[in-house]
C-alpha cells in the first residue's frame, strides 16, 4: 500500500541518477542501515506528517530528513546535487507530490568513536513534501 515513506523512496530512486552516481536502489533505506553494509548509502525518515487543508482528500505536508552516508565528507557531498535534482514534484508510488521545498542541509564529518572505530561522514538533507494520497 502506498505511503509517504514509499513515495519518498520512489522519488529518490526515480530514474537511475542516484544509482548511476554510486548508490544503487538497494542501499536506499528507510530509517537505518546496518553498520557493516557497503557505503555510500542513503537513509531517510519522515519526521512529521500533518494536514494542511480541510476536506476528505486534503493537502498534506511531510518533513523528510535524508542522510547520505559515505566514508568521507567529500564523498558524501558529491551526492548533494544529485539529491537536490531528485526532490521534485510528480507522482511517486501513486501519491501525487504537488510541491517540494529543499529546506537545507548540513554535514556531519567522520569521527572516531570509542576505540579505533570510525563513524562515516553524513550529508543530512531536510526537505518538505506537499502531497495528496
Partner 1 sequence: MAINAALSSFSFAGTIVAEVGTASITMDRAPLESTPIGSKVRTFIVGVGNATANLEIFYDQDSAQHTALENNINTGGAAAAVILTLESNNTYTGTAYVTSFEVTAQAGSLVRANVGLQFTSAGGNVDILSIA
Instruction: Give residues in contact with partner 1 (CB under 8 A).
Output: 51-56, 58-59, 99, 101, 103, 130
42/109 Cα distance (integer angstroms): 16
Nearer of residues 25 and 101 to partner 1, judged by Cβ: 101
Nearer of residues 17 and 89 to partner 1, judged by Cβ: 89
Nearer of residues 38 and 53 to partner 1, judged by Cβ: 53
Q: Phi/psi zone of residue 86: left (φ > 0), alpha (ψ -120 to 50 degrees), beta?
A: alpha
β-pairing verdict for 28-30 and 111-112: unpaired
Shortest Å, Cβ 101 to partner 1: 6
Shortest Å, Cβ 128 to partner 1: 8
Shortest Å, Cβ 53 to partner 1: 5
If you search the block for the grid coordinates 535534482, which residue do you land on?
Answer: 85
> Strand 41-51's sheet: what is its strand order?
28-30, 41-51, 60-70, 121-132, 95-108, 90-92
Shortest Å, Cβ 99 to partner 1: 6
Amino acid at each position: 500500500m502506498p505511503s509517504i515513506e514509499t513515495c519518498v523512496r520512489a522519488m529518490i530512486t526515480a530514474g537511475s541518477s542516484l544509482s548511476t552516481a554510486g548508490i544503487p536502489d538497494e542501499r536506499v533505506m528507510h530509517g537505518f542501515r546496518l553498520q557493516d553494509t557497503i557505503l555510500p548509502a542513503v537513509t531517510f525518515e519522515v519526521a512529521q506528517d500533518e494536514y494542511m487543508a480541510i476536506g476528505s482528500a486534503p493537502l498534506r505536508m511531510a518533513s523528510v530528513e535524508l542522510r547520505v552516508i559515505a566514508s568521507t565528507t567529500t564523498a558524501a557531498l558529491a551526492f548533494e546535487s544529485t539529491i537536490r535534482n531528485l526532490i521534485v514534484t510528480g507522482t511517486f508510488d501513486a501519491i501525487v507530490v504537488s510541491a517540494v521545498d529543499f529546506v537545507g542541509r548540513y554535514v556531519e564529518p567522520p569521527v572516531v568513536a570509542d576505540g579505533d572505530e570510525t563513524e562515516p561522514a553524513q550529508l543530512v538533507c531536510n526537505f518538505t513534501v506537499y502531497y495528496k494520497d
